[in-house]
Structures are given as structure tokens and as C-alpha cells.
């Protein structure tokens, strides 16, 4: 808007009046001689010029008014790929809109002859009759002045007959792709005599606040190309939960949206799946439900991506042998929390943007925490202690009141409030962790005054650098640090971190190859590759990044058969044994030479 106003102060009457005057003077002797211009009198010609000038008068102000009067852009909510009648199409509200029009067609070009159109003043519309088949849909926001089409205009769904599940299942049942999608409204009970199998590609549509209560074995094995989907019928709503009791659960390749999983006295395994919570309410007074909650049994979570809405908690596991591996957690408070767990492994996970802790261990024993990336979390990267405030836990027999035999190895802990925190008689061994750019690197303290001791740590070869306070221990805590590395291997650019120790390179005369050996995307903007004489080889910009476990090639020849390469005709002879990344402060970071990598 400001730019339009600025242009309007330049292109005003003083700007265009002389242009018109010169044009009129030059054209007037010839205007009636031209038989192709459809001008039959000087008066009509001058009236047209006057109309042009009137159009230009305060044009910038009118443009701003036009923009402000047009319905603003808005998002549509993706419908399930498979759906059954009735279903709801919904979208975000558009400012300045007076009415919405929904177009539904089996042709993505929306021809008038076959496009159904529905009007509403709400930001949703229920469709209760429509022939079966594949459809596209879009939403148009309108007012008397103009209109705007919501993102995206090529939404689609497959309308099928589907199957409504009964309130109780008391015999062995297989949910098949043929009879999908299945609908659940209210509470579905699965008795202990009914084993459940769900085929790949099945969709389960959950009514608002609906629940599944399962007391029998439950197997849902999708595939990467045909996952099993459990989502709300209404895209802008949520369902309550899936609850398991005294059973074995095996979930593979699932897409779960807007609902929680609870397990009690069960063996729970979930792999290769995504769980997203955006709309569901995750705070009820002081209670914060977890996206996955487990109580006794065994829990295995592998290659699962959990994305929260910054409320509630991520996974909360109690009294269960636990393995959380190769998974990702975003915007989930206390993303990985273990309570009274006696055997656990937390390995090769990514936790970013938790509004609380990334990993929280309370009253745990024999836990290995290794090779995790804990980045930009609001409180602690790893919190190790106990939780006396949780009476549901602390009053239960077997509560030890501390965590011990906790081994923390080779983690990347950056950008948090506190990197590692140990408290209240808890004992931790750490080794080869990178702990950088936190407010406090490692902290040990006594939180509960009923304790005689704070936290205890034995640190070996940890890199602790560039924190505001690297190490902070109170008088009640014990610390042993051996071979601390103060030289940083982390480059910070705003909220982005690059672990240079995890970048390997090789070179030829024409090319530089870089490999990302980490599990996170490395954005290289603002960095420069230099040789051992500090001469510039290549400068990275916004488009340069290396995907997790990916590689790029920088070359001065056109390698059309190679993906992920960047062409620079000025790249010098780069067949070198040593190269460095240089940050904006001109600090150099030597990369690992891996001649076998190409």
C-alpha cells in the first residue's frame, strides 16, 4: 500500500499533464485525417482525453480502495481423499466477503454445464446428496465489488458409499479398502473377543469428539503409497482419542490428524507414521493431555513425525520400557517425556520449537539418550530429575524421587534456554555432545529443598561453547568435566544452525561435492566456501540448502544428469585436500574430507 501511495506522489497531474499537452499538440492536425481511429469530431476526442485524465486523477488512492474492498485471500481446508455422504466443505473466513460460492465438478476446469454451485454466508457448507465419483472443488469469496478464489482451487475427493461402524464390535473384524471409508460417530467399543485388522489404504472418518475404546489386539498396516488414514469427518474439527487397554497394538504407515492415542497395560508399536494436531483443544485448566500417552507395557515409536499446536504435551510414557527412535517432534511441549521408566532408548530424533522441554526424564533409570537434534526449544533441551508436583506419579509405590544411570551421548543441543539440566540427586553421564548457543549450556541445581543434593554430572569430551553461560552449578551439585572442547563446530545464522562437523566434502578439478550427514536440513545462506588460502570458491544464497542425508554439487560445467547441483562458471580449480566454510564474521570452519564421496 505504501508503495502505491509513493508512486502516486510521482505520477500525478504535474507528471502526466505535460505529456497530454504535447500529445494533443502533435496529433490534433492529423486526428480527423485517420479513418481507422473511429473519431469523427474534435469534441468527442477531447471528451475521451478528459475521461482518461479523470481516470488518472488520484489513481493511487483508488487502487488502494480497490484492494481494500476486494475479499482477502483465504485458505480452504483439505477434505479427505475418500469421503462419504454427508460431508462438510470448510474454509477460513475472507475479510470483506459478503457471500461464498462453492463449486463442485468432476472436471478440474469447472465447466458451467457440469459444475454444481452452492451459496452460503457461512465459512462451511454441508453436502448431503451427490452422485458417487471423483470430484474437484473450490470456494469463491464475493462481494458487490469483486471476488477472490480461496487456496487451493484444485481440492479433490473421491465420494464413495462407505461404511458406518456399529457402536460395538465383538468379533474378529477386518476393515477393507473395498468398504472404505468407515465412519465413527460417538463412542466405538471393541471388546476383548474382537481382534481388529485394518487393510492398507483404508480411511476412517471420525465424528467430532468421537472415541475408539479397544480391549483387543489391533493391527493397522498401511504402506508408504497406501497409508491408513484416521481423520475427522469435518476438516476444521477434531476427534477425541483412540484408547487401548490390555492388548497388543501394531501401527504402520498411518496418517492421524486431530486426535490422541492412549495406551494402558499394552504393548504399543507405531512406525512410519504422521500425527498432526492443529485444531484439537490441548489444555483443560491445569491438565495438558498428550498426543501419545502410555501407562505400563512396552512402547516402540520409530520414524514417526508428530506436529503439535504448541499446547498439551507430545508423548508421555509411564512405567513402560520405551524406544523412541528416528522420529521428529515439532511445536509439542515436553515432546518426549518419560516418567518412572526403567529401560529406555531415545535415539536419532529431532525436536524443534517445543514451548517447553524437548526431552524430560522424571524418576527414570537406565536411559540412553543419543544422536538427537534438540534445537530452538523454549526451555530445556534435556531435563533430568523428578516431578514431585505430579501426585498421580509421586504417590505411587516405586517412586524413587530421582533419575540415575542416564547416559547422554553425541547429541546436538543448540538454541534452547538450558541445554542439559540435572536436579535433585539425579546422576548423568555425558559424552561427545555439542551444546552451543543456549542461554545456559549445562545446569545442575537443587530444585526441591527436601533434597540434600542437587544434580551430578560426569562429562567427557563434550563441546560446550557459545552459550551465554556455559556451565552453571549450585553448591549442592557435583560436576566432573574432562576434555571439554571450547572450539565451536556450529554456525549460527538467526535461528538456523549448521553443524559443520556433519558436512563432508570431496573435490575434482571442476566440482565441489558436499554431503549432509545430519538428520536436519542445512540452509547455507550467508556462508562462503574458501580454500586454505582464504580465497573464495563459492558464495551461498537463499536457494542453497542440503536436505537431511542429502548431497549437492557445485560445478563450473553443465552436469544435466546430476540432480541437486549448482552451476558457477567462475568456480576455480577446486581439486583440494582442504576447504572451509566461512561465516559472516569471517570465522573459518574446516570440513571433513571424504574422497570416496561423489
Give percent above pLDDT 90 in the chain.
70
Question: Please, which pLDDT band fits residue 64 given cuts at 50, 70 and 90?
Answer: low
Name the 3-class secondary structure at 525.
Answer: coil
Average pLDDT over residues 33-55: 80
Cell of 317: 510414557
pLDDT tens for residues 333-362? 999 999 999 999 999 999 999 999 999 999
Name the 3-class secondary structure at 82.
Answer: strand
Give the pLDDT of residue 9. Answer: 72
**Of residues 548 and 594, which shows the higher confidence score?**
548
Average pLDDT over residues 6-12: 71
pLDDT at 471 over 80: yes
pLDDT at 37 over 70: yes
Q: Which of 23-37, 331-345, 481-495 has the lowest mean pLDDT?
A: 23-37
Question: Please, which pLDDT band fits residue 5 given cuts at 50, 70 and 90?
Answer: low
Average pLDDT over residues 393-409: 77
Number of CB atoms found within 10 A of residue 360's CB: 26
Longest dimension (CA), the chain: 106
**Of residues 87 and 568, which shows the higher confidence score?**
87
Sketch out the chain's domains with CATH numbers.
2-69 (no CATH), 82-159 (2.60.40.10), 490-593 (2.60.40.1260)
449 CB-near residues (< 8 Å, 6+ apart)? none
- The C-alpha atoms of residue 232 and residue 307 are separated, in whole angstroms, by 16
Label the pairing between strands 522-523 and 545-546.
antiparallel
Give the pLDDT of residue 395. Answer: 61
Cell of 503: 558436512
Give the pLDDT of residue 3. Answer: 74
Number of CB atoms found within 10 A of residue 405's CB: 13
- Give rounded-to-5 percent helix, strand, coil for the chain: 10, 45, 45
Give the pLDDT of residue 45. Answer: 83
Q: Which of 198-212, 241-255, 477-491 has the lowest mean pLDDT?
A: 477-491
The DSSP bridge partners found for residue 268 are 249, 299
Average pLDDT over residues 135-140: 97
Q: Which of 37-41, 58-62, 176-180 has the lowest mean pLDDT?
A: 58-62
pLDDT at 231 over 90: yes
**Beta carbons of 566 and 544 less than 8 angstroms apart:** yes
Only one residue has cell 472418518, namely 205
Question: Please, which pLDDT band fits residue 24 given cuts at 50, 70 and 90?
Answer: confident
From 59, 48, 58, select the one nearest 20 (Cα to Cα).
Answer: 48
Beta strand segments in 277-318, E: 290-307, 313-318
Q: What are phi and psi of 5, to 5 degrees?
A: -60, -40
- The C-alpha atoms of residue 458 and residue 406 are separated, in whole angstroms, by 11
Question: Please, which pLDDT band fits residue 459 given cuts at 50, 70 and 90?
Answer: very high
Average pLDDT over residues 270-277: 98
- The C-alpha atoms of residue 235 and residue 288 are separated, in whole angstroms, by 23
Considering 9-23, 455-469, 520-534, 551-565, the range whose residues carry the highest mean pLDDT is 455-469
Q: What are phi and psi of 482, to 5 degrees?
A: -120, 130
pLDDT at 596 over 60: no
Amino acid at each position: 500500500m505504501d508503495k502505491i501511495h509513493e508512486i502516486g506522489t510521482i505520477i500525478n497531474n504535474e507528471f502526466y499533464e505535460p505529456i497530454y499537452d504535447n500529445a494533443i499538440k502533435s496529433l490534433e492536425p492529423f486526428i480527423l485525417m485517420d479513418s481507422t481511429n473511429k473519431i469523427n469530431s474534435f469534441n468527442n476526442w477531447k471528451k475521451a482525453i478528459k475521461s482518461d485524465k479523470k481516470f488518472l486523477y488520484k489513481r493511487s488512492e483508488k487502487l488502494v480502495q480497490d484492494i481494500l474492498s476486494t475479499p482477502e485471500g483465504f485458505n480452504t481446508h483439505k477434505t479427505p481423499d475418500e469421503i462419504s455422504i454427508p460431508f462438510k466443505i470448510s474454509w477460513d473466513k475472507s475479510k470483506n466477503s459478503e457471500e461464498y460460492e462453492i463449486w463442485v465438478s468432476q472436471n478440474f476446469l469447472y465447466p458451467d454445464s457440469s459444475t454444481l454451485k452452492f451459496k452460503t454466508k457461512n465459512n462451511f457448507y454441508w453436502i448431503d446428496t451427490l452422485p458417487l465419483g471423483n470430484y474437484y472443488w473450490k470456494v469463491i469469496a464475493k462481494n458487490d465489488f469483486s471476488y477472490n478464489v480461496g487456496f487451493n482451487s484444485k481440492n479433490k475427493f473421491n465420494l464413495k458409499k462407505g461404511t458406518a461402524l456399529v457402536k460395538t464390535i465383538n468379533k474378529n473384524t477386518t476393515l477393507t479398502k473395498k468398504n472404505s471409508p468407515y465412519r465413527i460417530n460417538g463412542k466405538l467399543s471393541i471388546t476383548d473377543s474382537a481382534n481388529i485388522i485394518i487393510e492398507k489404504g483404508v480411511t476412517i472418518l471420525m465424528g467430532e469428539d468421537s472415541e475408539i475404546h479397544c480391549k483387543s489386539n489391533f493391527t493397522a498396516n498401511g504402506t508408504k503409497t497406501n497409508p491408513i488414514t484416521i481423520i475427522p469427518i469435518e476438516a476444521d474439527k477434531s476427534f477425541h482419542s483412540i484408547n487401548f487397554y490390555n492388548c497388543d497394538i501394531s501401527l504402520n504407515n498411518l496418517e492421524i490428524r486431530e486426535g490422541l492415542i492412549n495406551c494402558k497395560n499394552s504393548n504399543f508399536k507405531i512406525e512410519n507414521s504422521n500425527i498432526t494436531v492443529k485444531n484439537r483443544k490441548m489444555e483443560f485448566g491445569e491438565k495438558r493431555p498428550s498426543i501419545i500417552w502410555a501407562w505400563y507395557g512396552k512402547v516402540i515409536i520409530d520414524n514417526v513425525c508428530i506436529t503439535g499446536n504448541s499446547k498439551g504435551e507430545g508423548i508421555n510414557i509411564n512405567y513402560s520400557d520405551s524406544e523412541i527412535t528416528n522420529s521428529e517432534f515439532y511445536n509439542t511441549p515436553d515432546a518426549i517425556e518419560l516418567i518412572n521408566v526403567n529401560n529406555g532408548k531415545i535415539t536419532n530424533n529431532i525436536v524443534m520449537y517445543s514451548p517447553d522441554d524437548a526431552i524430560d526424564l522424571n524418576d527414570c533409570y537406565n536411559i540412553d539418550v543419543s544422536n538427537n537434534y534438540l534445537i530452538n526449544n523454549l526451555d530445556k533441551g534435556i531435563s533430568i530429575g523428578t516431578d514431585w508436583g505430579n501426585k498421580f506419579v509421586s504417590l505411587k509405590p516405586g517412586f524413587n524421587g530421582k533419575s540415575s544411570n542416564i547416559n547422554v551421548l553425541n547429541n546436538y543441543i543448540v538454541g534452547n534456554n538450558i541445554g542439559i539440566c540435572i536436579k535433585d540427586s539425579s546422576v548423568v553421564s555425558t559424552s561427545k555432545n555439542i551444546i552451543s548457543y543456549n542461554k545456559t549450556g549445562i545446569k545442575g541445581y537443587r530444585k526441591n529443598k527436601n533434597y540434600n543434593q542437587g544434580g551430578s554430572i560426569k562429562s567427557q569430551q563434550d563441546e560446550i561453547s557459545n552459550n551465554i553461560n556455559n556451565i552453571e552449578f549450585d553448591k549442592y551439585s557435583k560436576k566432573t568435566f574432562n576434555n571439554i572442547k571450547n572450539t565451536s563446530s556450529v554456525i549460527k545464522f538467526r535461528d538456523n544452525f549448521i553443524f559443520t562437523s556433519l558436512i563432508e566434502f570431496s573435490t575434482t578439478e571442476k566440482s565441489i561435492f558436499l554431503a549432509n550427514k545430519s538428520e536436519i536440513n542445512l540452509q547455507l545462506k550467508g556462508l562462503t566456501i574458501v580454500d586454505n588460502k582464504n580465497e573464495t570458491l563459492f558464495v551461498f544464497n537463499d536457494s542453497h540448502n542440503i536436505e537431511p542425508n542429502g548431497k549437492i554439487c557445485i560445478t563450473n560445467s553443465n552436469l544435466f544428469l546430476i540432480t541437486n547441483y549448482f552451476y558457477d562458471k567462475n568456480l576455480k580449480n577446486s581439486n583440494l585436500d582442504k576447504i572451509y566454510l566461512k561465516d559472516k564474521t569471517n570465522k573459518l570452519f574446516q570440513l571433513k574430507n571424504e574422497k570416496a564421496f561423489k
